[in-house]
Structure 1
Amino acid sequence: MESRCNNLPLKKVSYSNVERRKSLSPSAIVIGAGFAGIAAAHALKNANFQVVLLESRDRIGGRIYTDYSFGFPVDLGASWLHGVCKENPLAPLIGRLGLPLYRTSGDNSVLFDHDLESYALFDTDGHQVPQELVQKVGDVFESILKETDKLRCEHGEDMSIAQAITIVLERCPDLRQEGLAYNVLQWYLCRMEGWFAADADTISLKHWDQEVLLPGGHGLMVRGYRPVINTLAKGLDIRLAHRVTKIARGKKGVEVTSGNGETFFADAAIITVPLGVLKANSIKFEPRLPEWKEEAISSLAVGTENKIVLHFDKIFWPNVEFLGVVASTSYGCSYFLNLHKATGHPVLVYMPAGRLARDIEKMSDEAAAKFAFLQLKGILPDASEPIQYLVSHWGTDENSLGSYTYDAVGKSHELCERLRIPVDNLFFAGEAASMKYTGTVHGAFSTGLMAAEECRMRVLERYGDLDMFQPAMGEEAEAVSVPLLISRM
């Protein structure tokens, strides 16, 4: 474990008014050491707060997890920077660290985080789908989604993307596809489900495209996200294996209890645990959170997408970014990310989402890896067995209980903002609390900074010390801009 994580014997942290006056150090407890929590703690430390960060896992990063067991970095969680541009709040830090990005898409499309020409699709008999058909059906899929926008305008009630597509195809027979083309259309729907980590019959027509997309396309973090989170975590007081079970708030501050019975006191707390954990009610709030906050937590949806990473001793697949298997249902479709294009390592990543991901999570890791390999063997008969594999379990992991948030049918996108709004001296952050950038790493990072600034203002206003401390902004906000290192093979 990194030396920056404080593993010394623990003691209660309690800051009385007298001590605060002497040290001029307001205090905060940050719960969750993912990107939002690390960003918030880093910013508050820079603003002269005494900060302790409590993390339930035995590592930092949360749903960022770069694994090195193959001898090189592989991200089992988030792996893309969505918006390869200087407007991305993470760009200055990534640029300054000199971390390379591999751009997988030149535009900021919700539909395609890879350019269409980078796909090689196969039918279940192992025949490659002609590239012209892949392109043609991709254009048809975009047309179908444009037609669903008309439905959105016509109907007051929300409906699922799946239902909207069915209505469009009834109205517009010219957009219907048959045979192989129909299967390719199902593959595009499968990719859309992967973007939201959810099945099309649960994704909201009204809100699916309301997310703000930064320009510059989508960039894969070639060396993983670990160096970024490690840099932000440097010097922080992080207590690993501290699962928070209770948060009590009062006029004098907050009292946070961890599963091992330790109690921590501070002026305020920033809660950055994943939405899935909040939904499971594994943290008891005293007094209870307001009804509007509880409703936001229960109504927001969290999807599941996993990675089954297959490491081979040689390359036997075509030199494309994505391999896909087309089928008559989106559930039967598959796709593999080719990391060899981006990193030079002989690795394919199978990425199931929604119901398929949940079904695979019921298997052992060995069975899941075998399932993924059989999908591959079906399209590439000469495929050699993997020499190593890794399997993620974001849906069943008690520290995440899902991959990321998406807009479910009949639920307002405003719920993300309601999740973010503070309650007394409790502040909330994370990708689910980002109205603009839901489901992204930079969304989590931005809300962490926002929560830190709100916390700073609230605590210092209360003690009349507002002019005495620096704004809760990380040093990267003022850093000299360094261009991002972007490749495209």
Structure 2
Amino acid sequence: MESRYQSNRQLKRAACYSTVGGRQSSPSVIVIGGGFSGIAAARALHDASFQVVLLESRDRIGGRVYTDYSFGFPVDLGASWLHGVCKENPLAPVIGRLGLPLYRTSGDNSVLYDHDLESYALFDTNGNQVPQELVTKVGEVFENILKETDKVRQEQSDDISISRAVSIVFERRSDLRQEGLAYKVLQWYLCRMEGWFAADADTISLNGWDQEVLLPGGHGLMVRGYRPVINTLAKGLDIRLGHRVTKVVRRYNGVQVITEDGTTFVADAAVISVPLGVLKAKIIEFEPRLPEWKEEAIEGLGIGIENKIVLHFDKIFWPNVEFLGVVASTTYGCSYFLNLHKATGHPVLVYMPAGQLAQDIEKMSDEAAANFAFMQLKKILPDACEPIQYLVSHWGADVNSLGSYSYDRVGKSHDLYERLRIPVDNLFFAGEATSMAYPGSVHGAFSTGLMAAEDCRMRVLERYGQLDLFNPVMGEETASVSVPLLISRM
């Protein structure tokens, strides 16, 4: 690597580049963002004999995948499920080869709940448990309501929100309306649906909410966290932590990427794998500007917030179920606690607020947020003992993410995901918000990283006139290795 100092500003070039001194032996790529998609793209391009430098603004890799070990055992503060426990899942071969156990929380691939409903305990705010038969009955009503919203969708010329569609269904079908405790249970189901999209029902598109592809096999919790997966994919890569990119300049013969401290990297192409929230905030300046259709995709897609408040106790005082829920007269008042003890053996409950509630809690201190979550727990278990430790995520406020994951906003086309993915000259885009099939998921981010790498490889090597010299990103050998996933139900 060559470097020089000019006016106290260091100018660095990526390890290999074709813009100076004639053709180099290897094409070069800069990957911006070290989340799952960026690491996947960098891994694939590195394995295809490219010179790759990955620039990450944080002091760690993983992005919105973050396994914390401060309790003495792994806890995922970001993504924690594999949605689709099956060999068709692009991440299954990696997880299988590593021998990482999954705890299957649901055999159902529904977006309505990440859990089979035989392992739960719902309570009202007075601490009375809701009868299981009522929860099951209201769950069936909720599924019928969603079927009815499909009829509403077919009749509407313009898109409307999920909540508006539900209101229309109630106007037409008085038999589906619920009262009293059943109404509160219905609000809890709607609250869980909002959790899936990390957004309130009045902002979620009726046309787009069910457009993602749901893989079979249900939902599997990563018992040891996602860290081992991301570390394995990152092994041997040239990763520069603490490098916040502020400008990307594209030229006909390459790209220039400038970081916050003025350091400049030069390469043949760049993979942009920063979160949608960061693109929306225009933290990175593009020169020339991105085309209008690309900017419209960035503006049009929704970015939701779901956070985790992780409570660590010194003993178990709650029922041996996968989750605890609090039903209330509004979705805002409902609560959801994931019981990690069931899956991992550790005495931990995870409170998971989404949408407006998550935004409001983000304004609190960590101590106040943990106390808020504990107060929700005390409503249903009055004898709950105080946590000995807590962790609080801030995905909405964190300048490196500015949101949790993408969703379809009212009035916006699901095609925006694909539009966000499409390359612009020698810039290639990756991330969960560029996945039409699997938005908001880790395997969606992973697969778009591989796609961006392959698009980039083809484009760059075409320019080099060396398409036959390099192996494809997805080699047959990789695709044929299949190790069964380790799945448990405790």
TM-score bucket of the superposed structures, by smaller chain? over 0.9
What is the TM-score with the length of structure 2 in the denominator? 0.96
Deviation (angstroms), 1:113 = 1.1
Provide the C-alpha distance between the structure 2 equivalents of 1:268 and 1:357, rounded to a whole number of angstroms: 37
Per-residue CA deviation, residues 43-76 of structure 1 (Å, 9 max, x unaligned), is: 0001100000000000000000000000000000
1:379 corresponds to 2:380: yes
Letter in 1 for 2:238: D
Counterparts in 2 of 1:137-152, with a 5 A limit?
137-152=138-153
**Structure 2 counterparts to residues 196-275 of structure 1, below 5 A:** 196-275=197-276
Match of 2:481 in 1: 480
For the Cα contact (< 8 Å) 1:303–1:404, is it kept in 2? yes
Paired AA for residue 463 in structure 1: Y
The residue that corresponds to 1:406 in the other structure is 407
Report the Cα distance in structure 1 between the residues aligned to 2:92 and 2:20, rounded to whole angstroms.
41
> Residue 425 of structure 2 corresponds to which residue in structure 1?
424
Q: Does the CA-based 8 Å contact 1:46-1:474 persist in structure 2?
A: no
- Following superposition, the deviation at residue 107 of structure 1 comes to 1.6
Task: Tell whether the 8 Å contact from 1:242 to 1:258 is kept in structure 2 after alignment.
Answer: yes
Which residue of 2 is the match for residue 75 of structure 1?
76
The aligned residue for residue 15 of structure 1 is 17
State the one-letter code of the partner of 1:27.
S
In structure 2, distance between residues paired with 1:16 and 1:88? 37
CA distance in 1, matches of 2:417, 2:359: 24
- Matched residue type, 1:15: Y
CA–CA distance in structure 1, aligned partners of residues 329 and 18 of structure 2: 65
Given that 1:32 and 1:54 are in contact with CA atoms closer than 8 Å, whether structure 2 keeps it comes out as yes
In structure 2, what residue type is equivalent to 1:289? L
Q: CA deviation at 1:11?
A: 3.9
**1:323 is the counterpart of 2:332:** no
CA deviations on 1:75-105 (whole Å, 9 max, x unpaired) are: 0000000000000000001000000000011
- Amino acid corresponding to residue 420 of structure 2 in structure 1: L
Aligned position for 2:44: 43
Deviation at 1:193, TM superposition (A): 0.4
Look up the SS of the partner of 2:109 in the other structure.
coil
Q: Work out the CA distance in 1 between the residues paired with 2:24 and 2:157.
A: 59
Matching residue's letter, 2:156: H
Aligned counterpart, 1:163: 164
Matches of 1:17 and 1:402, distance apart in 2: 37
Asked if 1 retains the 8 angstrom alpha-carbon contact of 2:248 and 2:285, the reply is: yes
Equivalent-residue separation in structure 1 for 2:286 and 2:117 (angstroms): 48
CA RMSD across the alignment: 1.3
Gaps of 5+ in 1: 1-8
TM-score by length of 1: 0.97
Q: Secondary structure at the match of 2:182?
A: helix
Give yes or no for contact 2:313–2:347 (8 Å, CA) kept in 1.
Answer: yes
> Using the alignment, how far apart are the partners of 2:329 and 2:475 within structure 1?
49
Quote how far apart the aligned CAs of 1:17 are: 5.2
SS where residue 323 of structure 1 aligns? Answer: strand
Q: Per the alignment, do residues 18 and 363 of structure 1 end up closer, same or farther by CA in structure 2, a change over 3 Å counting?
A: closer
Deviates more, 1:355-364 or 1:106-115: 106-115
- Alpha-carbon distance, 1:473 to partner: 2.6
- Which secondary structure state, in structure 2, belongs to the residue aligned with residue 112 of structure 1? coil
Specify the SS of the correspondent of 2:342. helix
Separation (CA, whole Å) in 2 of partners of 1:18 and 1:398: 35
CA drift at 1:116: 1.3
Partners of 1:240 and 1:368 in 2: CA distance: 29
CA distance in 2, matches of 1:36, 1:22: 27
User: Is the CA contact (8 Å cut-off) linking 2:17 and 2:24 kept in structure 1?
Assistant: no
Measure how far apart 1:18 and its partner are: 6.9
Residue pair 1:416, 1:434 contacting (<8 A) in 2 also: yes
C-alpha deviations, 1:354-394, integer Å up to 9, x for none?
A: 00000000000000000000000110011000000000000
Which residue number corresponds to residue 4 of structure 1?
A: none
Using the alignment, how far apart are the partners of 1:235 and 1:56 within structure 2? 19
Shift of 1:110: 1.2
Look up the equivalent residue of 2:17 and give its one-letter code.
Y
Q: 1:171 to 1:99 in 2, by over 3 A?
A: same
Residues 410-458 of structure 1 show CA distances to partners (whole Å, capped at 9, x for unaligned) of 0000000000000000000000000000000000000000000000000
Equivalent-residue separation in structure 1 for 2:250 and 2:327 (angstroms): 53
CA distance in 2 between partners of 1:184 and 1:451 (Å): 43
Cα offset, 1:22, TM superposition:
4.8
The secondary structure found in structure 2 opposite 1:165 is helix
Question: Partner residue of 1:5?
Answer: none
Matched AA of 1:142: E
Change over 3 Å in CA distance of 1:21–1:309 after alignment to 2: same
Provide, for residues 224-243 of structure 1, a one-character-per-residue CA deviation record: whole Å limited to 9, x for no partner: 00000000000000000000
2:192 matches 1:191 = yes
Contact kept in structure 2, 1:31 and 1:271, CA below 8 Å: yes
Bigger drift between 469-478 and 233-242 goes to 469-478
SS of the counterpart of 1:478?
A: helix
Distance in structure 2 (CA, Å) of the matches to 1:295 and 1:172? 38
Amino acid at match of 1:69: S
Take 1:476 and 1:215, find their aligned partners in 2: how far apart are those partners? 24
Counterpart of 1:116 in 2: which secondary structure? coil
User: What letter matches 2:141 in structure 1?
Assistant: V
Inter-partner Cα distance in structure 2 for 1:150 and 1:401: 35
Q: State the percentage of identical aligned residues.
A: 82
Query: Equivalents in 2 of 1:430, 1:480: separation in Å?
Result: 25
Report the count of equivalent residues. 480
Q: Could you tell me how far 1:19 is from its partner in structure 2?
A: 6.1
> In structure 2, what residue type is equivalent to 1:171?
R
Q: How far, CA to CA, are the matches of 2:200 and 2:117 in structure 1?
A: 22
Contact 2:306–2:404, Cα closer than 8 Å, also in 1: yes
